[in-house]
Every structure is written in structure tokens, then in C-alpha cells.
Structure 1
Amino acid sequence: MTNLTIRLRQAMQPWRTAPAWRIAFSGGLDSSVLLHLLADWAEHEELPPLSAIHVHHGLQPAADAWPEHCAQVCARLDIPLDIVRAQVAPGASLEQAARRARYAAFAERLGPGEILLGAQHRDDQAETLLFRLLRGAGVRGLAAMPGSRSLGCGTLLRPLLGCSRAELHAYAQNRGLAWVEDPSNADERFSRNFLRRQVMPLLAERWPQLAASLSRSAGHLGEAQQLLEELAEMDLLAARGVCALPWLPLPSLDVSAVAALSDARQRNLLRHWLALLSRMPDSDHWAGWYDLRDAAADATPIWKLADGELRRAEGRLWWLSGEWLRPPQPLDLPCGALGEPVELPGNGCVHLAGELPRARWHLRYRRGGESLLLPGRGHRDLKRLLNEWRVPAFVRPRLPLLFDGGELVAVANLTQAPGMAASGVRLHWSPPIGDRGLSW
């Protein structure tokens, strides 16, 4: 049994009870070695069901032959293969766009608890650390590739991170493996290729243990990132506080609790909180957070990020995305009984609990100047009532209002006129939830 085999089995031992192991199989050297190692293991021991996934981007003519190569390899090893044709969205970085398309395809095909096995190795880890260092990454980025992380409904696992490219190449040659070569790997216009072909060999001449040392540093930085995340979780627990509007399903934090932390802990907390909601800003863009935090109490500052925006209202930070970034369509909906939820274009859905008596019922949004009769208080201006209830300004134009002719009789989720309350009728609004964040 080779050292490569031993290290693979040690890395995979905690995952032996997973429902399935699926190999990200490009047909290249690294994934070919991983596929053969697992196939050989499966011949001698009972493992979770093995299968492979090949993502075909179609970005270059040479790639058209790779699915057939992968199919032949998997057929010889009796391993099922799923060939996925992915569309790469246009963008500034072709590498990044292809990676996003690839991992999106993997995530869609992973069942609950299943493991996707990637063949990245120690040299890849070293290159990733150096590449991100040159781009000015922080601790999270410099931790490079984690050994495992969640992906879709399952887990992405990289069991060969402790192995060198030379070890994989020697194994492939000894076993007589055939693999495909990606012509784009020789194109030094891509930064990763330039590092791999020009910079890393030069550094390794002076520091022969370069890849091992950089990989070890990535491990230390990974531990540091874990500590930062644990600190962020502690701060997040205190900063969530209690929202006065439990029916509003938006991520939010208590501004004063966040502002009480040091600037470094504020940034650490917000990076952690926003990680699943948006791509993070670079260092210069954090000025938007300080402007938001330090604005006057009566101001309505906005911090725009890649996938949404943060607003401050009623003492809290609110994350808005998706439909919340677009004004709702005008509403003037005649209605009788709304026992079943009714979709409001771009604004969630609404329904009535109870039965309305005969009248001229209409659902509308605010137009200004509305007032509502309240028990023991007479008519009160709706604007002042919304201030009392601490409804954020960005919610107010979306609140469904129920009118009897021209008279306001109910504000969804908040209150209704005495006659409505006595009848047991309640107007319920389920607001839009926004985008559910990043999946990988």
C-alpha cells in the first residue's frame, strides 16, 4: 500500500458512512489518480456507492473530446458517470466564471449528505495561497482551500491536499494511466498558470520545500480563521437582539450592539454575517459601513454591496435583496373574502383570517394622509402610528392596507379598526424574503 493510498484512506475515514461518494472528474491527471485510487479501494472493501461527475464547459475545441474519454475510463472501472454541460456566464474573469458554473453544477447534483471529492493537492494549495496573497486577501482568503466545506445539500471534500503533484504523477505513471491535458493550462496570460509555470519553479530553486511550507502556512491561517469565526458567532449572538417586528423575515442586527465593538470586531462580525448573503467588499469599500454606522439618527443611509444592500432603520441594520430592491407595483385590488393567500406582485402575499361583511373592500398601499380609528384613541394619523410601531421606512410603502370605500380599516400584521377587531377578521401579510443568499 503506497503512502498516497494510506493518506487518502485516513482522510476519507470519517466519511465512510456517507450515502454516496461522487468524484469531480475532469479527466486530467489529478482527478484520474483520485478516481483510480477509489476504484481500487472499492475492490477490497465496502465503500459508499461511487460515481463521477464530469462538467463540460465547451470553452475550447479540445474539450469536446473529454466527455468521451471520461466515459471510457469510468466504463472500464465500472463507475457510473454523469456528464453535465454547463453554461459559463460572460464576465471579466473567464476562470472565475467557469469555476462558478462548475460548482453550481456539482451543488445541484449532490443529494443530502453526499460527498463530492475534489482532487486538489498540496501544490494547488500553495499556488492558491500565493495567488491570493498577491491580490491582498485577508485571513479567510489566505487560508486557501479548506479540506472540507458544505456544498449544496452535501459536502465538498479534498482528501489529497496533503499530497504533492509529484506523488500523483508518479502514481499515474506507475499504473500506466491515461489522462487529458488542458491546453489552457499552458496559457500564461492566466495568472494561475503564470505562477505555476514561471514563479513557483523559480522560488522552489531557492526554497525546495516551498509548496509544503506554503501549504503549512495555509493550515495555520485556516486555524486563525476558525478562531475569528468563533469570535464572530459570539458577537453575532449578542448583536441579533430582539426585533420588534417578528413577522418581518429579513436578516437584521442591533446597530448599538455592533457599534459597541472595536472596528476590527465590527468588520469581522459583518464579514461573517454577510458571507452567505453577498460577495464581500474590498478594503476600500468598507468606508460605506462607517458612513452607515455614523450617520445621524434621522438619516436613512444605505451601504450597497454586490448582491444587495444594508440599511439602518429603527435602531437595526437590515439586509435587503431581491424584490426588496425594487418598488412594488401599484395596488388597488377589490376583494371580498381572502381566505386563500393572494400574491402581490413583487411583494409577497396577503390573506384574511375571518369573513368580511358586505362592503366596498379594497386592498391598497399608502398614498399619504391616511388615518385609522383606534379603540379609546379616536382617529390617528397612519404616519404617526407607523412611527410608534417602529416600522422601518422601507417597509411602509409595502404594507397592505384594507379600505372600506375610502376609510382605512386595517393595517396588515399590525392593527385594525374596532369594527374589524370585533368581527375577528385579521389581515395577514407575508412579506417577500429576498434572495436566499449564496449557495457555494
Structure 2
Amino acid sequence: MRSTLPTFNEVWQQQLRSCLLNTWPSADVKFLIACSGGMDSMLLLHVMSALFPHKIRAIYINHQLQQPSASWGEFVRLECEKLNLNCVVAEVDVQNGNLENQARIARYQAFEQHIAPDEILVLAHHQQDQAETVLLHLFSGSGVDGLSAMRIHDPRTHLNIWRPLLNLSREQISQWVKQHHIAYIQDPTNFDTHYDRAWCRETLWPLLQSRFPQMQQAISRSSLLMQDAAEILAEVAQQDLKLCGDADQLDLKLLQQLSMPRQRQLLSNWIKGQAAYRPSLATVERIQSEVIAAKSDARSALHHAGFYYLRYQNVLYKVSKAEYLAQQQSPVPQELSVFLNQKIKLAAGEFCIEQQAWGLSWELLEQPLSVMPRIGGEKIHLHGRVGHWPLKKAIQAAQIFPWQRHQIQILSKDNVMLGVFTPKGFWLAESQYNQQHGWQPQLLFSTP
């Protein structure tokens, strides 16, 4: 009995070529095929090798979680050899935690490590994979982005991903594999319902499909609609970001003029930054309640995914973990001897010794000077101002962030304050060592 499914040669080669030309018209594009040895990726490997024989290579990721995983890698390598394709077999270490999530993280890290700048990563996800992803994201409480699931063309910071099978059913793929006698391996974990995706596929899917036979296509359509909605929300969030700040800070007065849903969307996009995934709703709400809504004199800070989020003078800042924690280590006292045009690196940044209209005496060059960390309670008589001023007040007036104040160092000679090194530059103090056309350290760039 003749199958009602179209044959591979009748339909899919034309679809694949059309998709490629619409997405990447450049003739210079090359492909890295992620091949697990399973049915879907082996069909993809064979088709791509037939269509673009000189522009592809393959990569097999050995997660080292199953005893036969090394032999599966050898199977993929030998199949690639038959097709005259280069194949990378990459071993990864999967960290503790949710096994599926950690395996995915390790896999994508390996992709980023091995992909060439002119290559596109090609994945064999199909329509049922897409529908399963939507269901799993729905069960985990995802928003519009999560329900958008996977995209055919998915440009990321370090990867450009293409999923040419995404609109094709598993039945089509299975038939084409049989028609072309393509060998493949079967991973037993695909049927282990201990894992969420396998449970969804083996237990939930048949039940739902018995009631809703067109469920797969319907869920795929929903994901496309969610992708449109996500793009619209992203455009609005970009407009709001331009209004309220930039990638590193948000003006809270402007942010709070937006409706609460737009505030949440903007914060979610802003926190995500260049990461692959958005933060959870709970994380966004914690930043709203614990940081934004904290008392004005509170120094609340919330850590998430390598950054600290904190408020200073009605602005919300996103600060790297390394920069924020650096304040716990004050610079040690040191002795310094400088000469003209010398570049020196201090806690606050890099400075250059230059002649200025007013500065320090030339007699101090190449003489031992003390550089001491600020300890609190110091007073400074800033050059050009009347009277002494608490250094703390000068720092506040200059709006130096609290998490950068550990970088401040005092330059002195025989216990006479000559000036202060800060992330905003060198502040010259009034002293008997000042003169016209003297020298000063000029800030070249601040320490992050």
C-alpha cells in the first residue's frame, strides 16, 4: 500500500533549499551539524551532505552519562567518514543539578567552543520536539518567551542556530529514514520516563493526542503566535529601555512612570541582557520589592546570574559580581615614586603623570610618596576651594558609587595630603607642595 506521505525527493529538498536562501543568501555560509546519532540528526546529516557537500562538518557531544556513549560517537564518526565529512567528537562534563538542564548547558558550551566564526550550528529539532517544549515550558510557568519555544532561525550572542526540520513531523522524518536506509542509534533515555521530556513523549503525548489528533500542529501554530507576541514585547521593552536607561542602569523615576506590566517586561529584558534565558518572575519581583522598594538609605543588593542589582540615588544598577565583591578587599598601603609621562596602575584605574596649569612641585618627582587607603574621617582642602571638607562629603558630591569607594587612595608626603586618587580622577589638595605649571596624575581609564 502506497504511503500518503510525500517522499523526501518530492518535497523536502525544495523546502530546505528555500529556507536556506531565505535565511542566509550568502554563498559563504558553512554549517556545523549537531549529530547525536539518532534518527533525526542522521537524516539531517545525510541531507545536508547531499545538498552542501563541501560546506558542512559534524560534531558529536559525548556527555559521558551512559556506558555506550563513546561507541555512539564512533558510530557518528564512521558515518561521517563514509560521507567524506569531518567530525568532531567532544567530551563534556555535566555538572550536578537538573540533569537535563546541565547536559544542555554543557552541550551548548561545547558548541560555542568548537564552532568556527563562519559556521551556522544546525540542529535536528522537529515539530513534535517543538510541541513538547511548549508543553514543558507551560508546566514550568513560563511566559511569552518560554511559550515561543524554539525558532527556525535563532541568532544568539555566540551562536547562529538553524533548525530546518522544525516544521516537519516525526512521521515524515521516520519514513524518509526508511526510504533512504539511513542507519541510526536509539538512545534508551528517550524512553526513560524519569526524565521530563521522555515522560511527556511516552506518557502524556499519547493521551492528549487521542483526544486532540491535530494537537502537534496546533501547538506549533501557538508557538509561532507567541514568537510574534514576544517580538512585539521586545520592541516595546527596547523603547522603554531607551527611555529609562541603558544596559547598566535604569532611572527609577522614569521606570515607575510605566505601567506595572511594562515595568516587569523591561526589568525582565534588562536582567536577561546577553544571557540565553530570562530570569524567573520570582527574581523580577524580588528586585522590585527588595531593591527598588527598599528605603532610600538602605544598601540592598540582590545577586542573580553573576550580577548584583542595587539602587543608588534613585537609579538601579547592574554590577558584575567581581566588581561588587572587590569592595571587600581594600588596597594595601604602598610607597610610590613617579616621573613625568609615567603610567601608573592603582585601585581606581590607570593614571599618567602629566604637566598641568597647576599641580605638584617638580621636586616631588622620583621622591618616595605614600599611597594609603581611605579609612574614614579624613578631611581635604581641595585646590581652588575655600576651607577643609570631609572627604566623605566630597565623595558623595562626586557621586562615586559606594561599591567603588574602596578604590579611593590618598597620596601624601611626610603626612601632608597631596591629593586623592578616585575613579573620577585625581583630586589635587592644597598644600605647600603646590605650584603653577606643576604635575598631576591624569586618569586614563577607571577600574571596572
TM-score clears 0.5? yes
- Which of the numbers 195, 198, 202 marks the counterpart of 1:197? 202
Residue equivalent to 1:275: 272
- Deviation track 1:207-243 (CA, whole Å, cap 9, x = no partner) reads 11111110110010011010010000000001117xx
Larger radius of gyration: 2
Counterpart residue identity of residue 365, structure 2? P
Q: Distance in 2 between matches of 1:426 and 1:302?
A: 33
| TM-score scaled by length of structure 1 | 0.88
Give the structure, 1 or 2, with the largest relative contact order (CA under 8 Å, sep 6 or more).
1
> Equivalent of 2:125, from 120, 124, 127?
120
Shift of 1:205: 1.3
Question: 1:246 is matched with which residue?
Answer: none
SS class of match (1:208): coil
- SS of residue paired to 1:402: strand
What CA deviation, in whole Å up to 9, does each residue of 1:279-337 have, x standing for no partner? 65433341431332222322222233243221001231111223123222442122223
Structure 1 stretch 154-163 or stretch 373-382: which is displaced more?
A: 373-382
**2:336–2:369: 8 Å Cα contact kept in structure 1?**
yes
Q: Which moved more, 1:324-333 or 1:222-231?
A: 324-333
3-state SS of 2:352 partner: strand
Give deviations 1:323-367, integer Å, cap 9, x for gaps: 12322244212222383453x6xx675333338624432333321
* Corresponding residue SS for 1:367: coil
Query: Which residue in the other structure is 1:247 paired with?
Result: none
CA distance in 1 between partners of 2:68 and 2:436 (Å): 71
RMSD over aligned Cα, in angstroms? 2.3
Number of the residue aligned with 1:234: 239
Unaligned runs of 5+ in 1: 242-249, 434-440
Whole-angstrom distance in 2 between the partners of 1:237 and 1:398: 31
TM-score (norm. length: structure 2): 0.86
CA contact (8 A) 1:364 1:402 kept: yes
Residue number in structure 1 paired with 2:160:
155
1:372 and 1:417 in contact (8 A); partners too: yes
Q: Deviations over 1:355-397 (max 9, x none)?
A: 8624432333321122222213232211001111122222212
Deviates more, 1:59-68 or 1:295-304: 295-304
Among all aligned residue pairs of Structure 1 and Structure 2, give the percentage whose two residues are the same amino acid.
28
Aligned partner of 1:370: which letter? E
Structure 1: distance between partners of 2:152 and 2:103: 21
> Which residue, 383, 398, 412 being the options, matches 2:407?
398
Q: Which runs of 5+ in 2 are unaligned?
A: 1-8, 356-363
* Structure 2 counterpart of 1:251, from 242, 248, 253: 248
Amino acid across the alignment from 1:188? T
Which of 16, 25, 32 aligns to 2:35? It is 25
Map of 1:353 onto structure 2: 353
Q: 1:368 — aligned with what?
A: 376
Aligned to 1:379: 388
Cα distance change, pair 348–142 in 1 and its aligned pair in 2 (3 A): farther
**Partner SS state of residue 322, structure 2:** helix
**Contact 1:255–1:315, Cα closer than 8 Å, also in 2:** yes
- One-letter code aligned to 2:76: C
CA contact (8 A) 1:108 1:152 kept: no
Aligned to 1:423: 438
In the alignment of these two chains, the number of paired residues is 417
Q: Give the direction of change, closer, same or farther, for the CA distance of 1:123–1:182 in structure 2 (3 Å limit).
A: same
Equivalences for residues 28-427 of structure 1 within 5 A: 28-42=38-52, 49-91=55-97, 93-240=98-245, 251-276=248-273, 280-285=278-283, 286-326=285-325, 327-337=328-338, 339-342=342-345, 349-354=349-354, 357-374=365-382, 375-406=384-415, 407-412=417-422, 413-414=424-425, 415-417=427-429, 419=434, 422-427=437-442
Structure 1 pair 131–295 and aligned structure 2 pair: CA distance change class (3 A): same
Equivalent residues of 2:331, 2:407 under 8 A apart: no
Counterpart of 1:437 in structure 2 is none
Change (3 A) 1:404 1:228: farther
Q: Distance in 1 between matches of 2:349 and 2:396?
A: 24
The change in CA–CA distance for 1:178 and 1:358 in structure 2 (over 3 A counts) is same
Measure the CA separation in 2 of the matches of 1:397 and 1:265: 36
- Render the CA deviation track for 1:402-440: whole Å, top value 9, x for unaligned: 33343251233333235389534225375554xxxxxxx
Equivalent residue number for residue 16 of structure 2: 8
With over 3 angstroms needed to count, the CA separation of the structure-2 counterparts of 1:421 and 1:332, relative to structure 1, is: farther
Q: Deviations over 1:86-110 (max 9, x none)?
A: 111122x011111001001111222
